Amino acid sequence: MARTDHQTMRRVLRREIAGTIGVLTDEHDFRAMRRYRTFTFDDHATYLQHVEGLLRTRALQGSHTTLALFDPQEYADYCAAKGLDADVPANRTRFTAELATTGPTVPYEGQPLADLLPALVDEAVRQATWEYAATLLARLGACAGCGEDIGRAAFTRASDLLTRILDTAPPGDRHLVCSVTGTPETLVAVLHADDEGHDPAPLDDAEALEFTTVLALGLATQSPGGLVMRTTAQGVPDQIYGWRLRGEGLEPLTAGEVFDAYCTDVESGDLISPESGVDYCFPPDLGPQGRPWGHTH
């Protein structure tokens, strides 16, 4: 009887333990891990099937699991820095545990792994974009003329602009995309603001931080770029409008410029048919806060 009670208590306790699985999302990373003797899988598809089976088993047992993006090169660097043997499974577990607190993760909530992996990759890209943009902002340093921190001033300006853009948007679900052209590549940030009867609409903190940081970088460096808003509401056509980054502010795009941008194939330059049920519009007036202000040296 005592043994049964102990087993029952241990099963209950196991349900209280959260777990993280580091997953190899693509064939390239999977092949890189096969160089380790203790990594016994030899087929990526089979490996993913076992991952999904483990997720389902843990869910049936009442355990919460998150997925982390396991990068073989980062793992090798981690082991080299700490003097660990990368071919020891316990060290892979140790690395994965740190990913749970520092890297991109997504929770498993019963969805198919085929849906979960793209979400994990998107989360990794989002985090990498934010880290890169934040690093570039920090490197701008202080203005030689007035001593003001350029990156901080630009972030404040971008935050104010985002507030004005959301405040002036028509009712509905909002989808914002900001792109900033730079070296070595264009940075893109996405922000969703779903209208669920809240005023203001709730934002995902991580998305908002990334979006504001990318916009701030474009403003601070006066790089080419743009911002596009799409609103969707029941019973009315979707509205699409936008701005180009100009100096330290935003310049409205005409309805024709928005139409041309959406109805031109990016690679070929050929015209494509416009979407039905969509209005390409001139953006709302952002007011005084929509024009350059603050640090202008």
Which tens digits make up the pLDDT trace of 91-100? 999 999 988 8
Band (270; pLDDT cuts 50, 70, 90): confident
> Beta strands 105-107 and 187-193: pairing type?
unpaired
Which residues lie across from 105 on neighbouring strands?
Answer: 68
For residue 239, what are its two tokens? 């509205």
| Residue 47 pLDDT | 95
| Residue 29 pLDDT | 95
DSSP per-residue letters across 46-63: HHHHHHHHHHHHHHHTT-
- What mean pLDDT comes out for the span 148-164? 91
Which residues lie across from 175 on neighbouring strands?
Answer: 192, 230
Q: Which of 166-180, 209-223, 281-295 has the lowest mean pLDDT?
A: 281-295
Which residues lie across from 225 on neighbouring strands?
Answer: 180
At 125, which helix (H) or strand (E)? helix 113-139
Instruction: Give the 3-state secondary structure percentages of the chain, helix then strand then coil, rounded to 5.
Output: 45, 20, 35
Band (183; pLDDT cuts 50, 70, 90): low
241 alpha-carbon distance from chain centroid = 22
pTM for the model stands at 0.76
**SS3 sequence of 152-211:** HHHHHHHHHHHHHHHHHCCCCEEEEEEEECCCCCCEEEEEEECCCCCCCCCCCHHHHHHH
3-state secondary structure of 8: helix
- Count, residues in the chain: 297
| Residue 61 pLDDT | 84
Q: How does DSSP classify residue 38?
A: T
Residue 237: other Cβ atoms inside 10 A: 15
Residue 195: other Cβ atoms inside 10 A: 18
- What mean pLDDT comes out for the span 157-166? 93
